[in-house]
Structures are given as structure tokens and as C-alpha cells.
């Protein structure tokens, strides 16, 4: 069953351009220079129930605009959208109770009130029965380890603690679909790990569908199996993360640890030297020759440890942007 169905989605923004200077300001009163920006261009995709999908792209590529159209915040210029069987732009009450959207750069909790007061407001907005509200709040606050912070003013909390509270507010009504726009932006490593572990648990236990935008590739690799890549408003890739890495060159990274010093000139015979730190080195080689290179390395070097992995996801994305004429 498809939770999201998008066909030929486009969004064009109208804006005005004004040259510098006072005279240009006066001229602008009678004659404006109108321009149009096509932020999203003919995008089509579908997402099934229970999938966790990454939505990636450079800044300004159209990710947030698309997500806002999927949630009903923006109206599309052209195209069709069905989310949970509803047309988002109609903003039906039943539809709004079935999804939630969380943006890392915006907050929905009142900063001068304790989080529990905002949660009580959410209960009334979504008509959550009191026993169910208490059960969900207890479970979410315990899993995120913030039970002892519910009665503290939100502005007194750390950034990581505030983001956990925002997650709770987004999930109290039991949404079937969750839009996450940069949910870990600005968080430290431990807070990022805590949020990602919570989302992984949420997917396992509640079969919730998630569409996630992030520039943190560790988040993407840990949580998502499928990735959508948008560039200049157009969808340029839609497949599994592993397929993205395989499609863009079929490369592998060989990590070597040796008992004797390693020299870049020597390692360069076997592949591209990514880094070399005396007794440790990393090579990038083609998928088709990785076994052959491993045999030579084991024969020619006093290997202490050796392993093979896929290149980092960000490298694959950079190659994709470069291939299409834009470096992110």
C-alpha cells in the first residue's frame, strides 16, 4: 500500500528583483521586475507504508519545498499528490491527524512554558483520550530519557533536549507518517545518536513511514534503505542506497593496517590512495579488481589487518552531482 503518491509535481515561486540604489526604489513603485523560480520540476515517486526514505539534495534543490507540499503547507503549481489517501492542499482535519512534520530549524513548543504544558495543548488539539495520552507520553519520554525534564521551561533545556521534546510533541497523536526536515541539525554527536536510535525503534515497533531530509550522511546510512536525490528541482535518483554507490562507479575502499611502514608510491600501483598514515592506509579500487588487489596486498605487504567497505555515501552523492554538472 502506497502512503505517498506523487505525479508530475511542480512548484513555481514568483518574486521581484530590485537593483541597488534610491532611484531604483522609486522606479520599483511603478514598474517591478518580475521573475519566476521553478523550485520543483515534474517530480514523481511513491512511498509504501513502513518505508524509511531519505530525501537528499544540495541546499536549494527543492527538498523542503517538496516536503511542504506533501504536508499541505504549500499548494503545488502543477501535478497530483495523494498522501494517506488525501489531497494535502485541502488540509482536511482527518488528514492532519494522521501525519506529523518536524523541522529542525523551527520549533512548535512554547519556549517560556514547560514542555508538559505544550504536550497538554497537543492533547486537546488532536483530541487524544487522557489514558492514551499519558501512556504515549510516558513511553516516549522514557525512551528518550527526558522524563525528569518535562516540567522545566523549554528555553532552559539544551538543544538536544529540546529536539527530543519536539519529537515527543510530533508523535503524541500517533501519526502514521512522519516528515523530518533536518531533525538533528546543530546537535552534538551523542544527541544525534540518541535521536537516530529512537527513530529506529519507532520504525520497528510502530511500522511508521518516514521521509527524512538531512545533510548528515551518518543519519541516512543508519536509518534509511532507500534514497531519493533531487537536484535543481528534478528527481535524479530513486533507489536503494547500496545501488547509488554501485551505480556511480562500483568502487570499494580497502583499509590496510601493516606491521611495516606503508608508502604511497608503492600503494599507488594498486589503486587510488585516499590516505596514508605510516602503518595505516586506505585505497579506492574498482569493484571488478578488488579481489585481485587483495591477493597482491596480502602477498606483498606484512598485513596486520585488512577490510573492504563501500565508499562513504557523501562521496557517491558528490559524484552524482558532478556527473550532472553541479558540485554540491
Three-state secondary structure readout of 38-99? EEEEEEEEEEECCCEEEEECCCCCCHHHHHHHHCCCCCCCEEEEEECCECHHHCCHHHHCCE
Residues 268, 133 share a domain: no
pLDDT at 165: 93
Quote the Cα angle for 312-224-46, to 5°.
Answer: 125
Count of domains for the chain: 2
Residues 168, 78 share a domain: yes
Q: Residue 277 half-sphere exposure, CB side, CA atoms within 13 Å? A: 6
pLDDT at 59: 81
pLDDT at 328: 41
pLDDT, tens digit only, all 328 positions of the chain? 889 999 999 999 998 887 888 887 878 778 888 889 999 999 999 999 989 999 988 888 899 999 999 999 999 999 999 999 999 999 999 999 999 999 877 888 999 999 999 999 999 999 999 999 999 999 999 888 899 999 999 999 988 889 899 999 999 999 999 999 888 777 777 777 888 888 888 888 888 999 998 877 777 877 888 999 998 899 988 988 777 766 655 678 888 888 888 888 888 888 888 888 888 888 888 777 888 888 888 888 888 888 887 776 667 677 777 665 544 4
Query: For residue 36, is it within any domain?
Result: yes
Residues 286, 138 share a domain: no
Diameter of the chain measured on Cα atoms: 79
Of the residues 245, 274, 301, which one is the last residue of a structural domain? 245
Residues 173, 58 share a domain: yes
Q: Going along 144-296, which residue ranges are E strands?
A: 177-181, 209-213, 226-231, 234-240, 251-258, 272-277, 280-286
DSSP state, 279? T
Residues 265, 205 share a domain: no
Of the residues 229, 245, 261, which one is the last residue of a structural domain? 245
Q: For residues 95 and 72, what is the distance between their CA atoms, to the nearest angstrom? A: 10
Residue-range definition of the domain harbouring residue 258: 249-323
Closest CA to 238 of 48, 93, 84: 48
Closest CA to 12 of 83, 91, 74, 89: 74
Residues 316, 188 share a domain: no
Residues 149, 123 share a domain: yes
Query: For residue 298, is it within any domain?
Result: yes
Closest CA to 146 of 132, 133, 135, 160: 160
Residues 267, 123 share a domain: no
Burial of 151 (0-12, 13-18, 19+ CB in 10 A): exposed
Polymer length in residues for the chain: 328
What's the CATH code of the domain at 231? 3.40.50.300
Dihedral (C-alpha) 174, 180, 184, 185: value to the nearest 10 degrees? Answer: -140
Of the residues 202, 223, 245, which one is the last residue of a structural domain? 245
Residues 214, 256 share a domain: no
Residues 237, 261 share a domain: no
Query: For residue 172, is it within any domain?
Result: yes
pLDDT at 194: 81
Residue with cell 595505516: 280
Q: For residues 246 and 240, what is the distance between their CA atoms, to the nearest angstrom? A: 10
pLDDT at 249: 59
What's the CATH code of the domain at 262? 3.30.2130.10
Three-class secondary structure of residue 163 per DSSP: helix
Prediction pTM value: 0.78
DSSP state, 110? -
Query: For residue 89, is it within any domain?
Result: yes
Helix, strand, coil distribution of the chain in percent, nearest 5? 40, 30, 30
pLDDT at 262: 81
Positive or negative: CA dihedral 119, 205, 48, 3: negative
Residues 264, 141 share a domain: no
Q: Which residues pair with 141 in a beta bridge?
A: none
Query: For residue 235, is it within any domain?
Result: yes
DSSP state, 152? S
Query: For residue 328, is it within any domain?
Result: no
Amino acid at each position: 500500500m502506497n502512503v505517498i503518491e506523487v505525479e508530475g509535481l511542480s512548484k513555481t515561486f514568483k518574486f521581484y528583483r530590485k537593483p541597488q540604489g534610491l532611484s531604483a526604489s522609486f522606479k520599483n513603485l511603478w514598474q517591478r521586475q518580475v521573475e519566476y523560480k521553478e523550485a520543483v520540476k515534474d517530480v514523481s515517486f511513491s512511498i509504501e507504508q513502513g518505508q524509511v526514505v531519505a530525501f537528499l539534495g544540495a541546499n536549494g534543490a527543492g527538498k523542503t519545498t517538496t516536503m511542504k507540499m506533501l504536508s499541505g503547507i504549500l499548494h503545488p503549481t502543477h501535478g497530483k499528490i495523494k498522501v494517506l489517501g488525501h489531497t494535502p492542499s485541502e488540509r482536511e482535519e482527518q488528514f492532519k491527524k494522521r501525519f506529523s512534520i518536524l523541522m529542525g530549524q523551527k520549533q512548535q513548543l512554547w519556549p517560556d512554558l514547560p514542555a508538559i504544558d505544550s504536550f497538554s495543548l497537543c492533547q486537546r488539539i488532536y483530541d487524544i483520550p487522557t489514558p492514551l495520552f499519558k501512556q504515549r507520553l510516558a513511553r516516549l519520554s522514557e525512551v528518550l530519557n527526558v522524563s525528569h525534564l518535562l516540567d522545566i521551561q523549554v528555553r532552559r533545556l539544551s538543544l538536544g533536549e529540546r529536539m527530543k521534546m519536539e519529537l515527543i510533541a510530533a508523535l503524541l497523536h500517533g501519526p502514521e507518517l512522519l516528515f523530518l526536515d533536518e531533525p538533528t541539525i546543530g546537535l552534538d554527536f551523542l544527541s544525534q545518536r540518541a535521536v537516530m536510535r529512537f527513530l529506529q525503534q519507532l520504525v520497528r515497533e510502530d511500522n511508521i513511514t518516514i521521509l527524512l531530509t538531512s545533510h548528515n550522511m551518518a543519519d541516512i546510512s543508519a536509518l534509511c534503505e532507500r534514497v531519493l536525490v533531487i537536484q535543481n528541482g528534478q528527481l535524479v535518483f530513486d533507489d536503494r542506497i547500496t545501488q547509488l554507490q554501485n551505480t556511480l562507479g562500483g568502487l570499494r575502499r580497502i583499509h590496510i593496517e601493516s606491521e611495516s611502514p606503508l608508502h604511497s608510491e608503492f600503494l599507488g600501483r594498486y589503486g587510488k590512495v585516499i590516505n596514508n598514515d605510516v602503518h595505516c592506509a586506505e585505497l579506492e579500487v574498482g569493484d571488478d579488481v578488488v579481489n585481485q588487489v587483495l591477493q597482491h596486498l596480502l602477498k606483498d605487504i606484512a598485513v596486520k589487518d585488512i577490510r573492504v567497505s563501500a565508499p562513504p555515501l557523501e562521496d557517491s552523492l558528490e559524484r552524482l552531482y558532478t556527473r550532472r554538472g553541479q558540485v554540491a
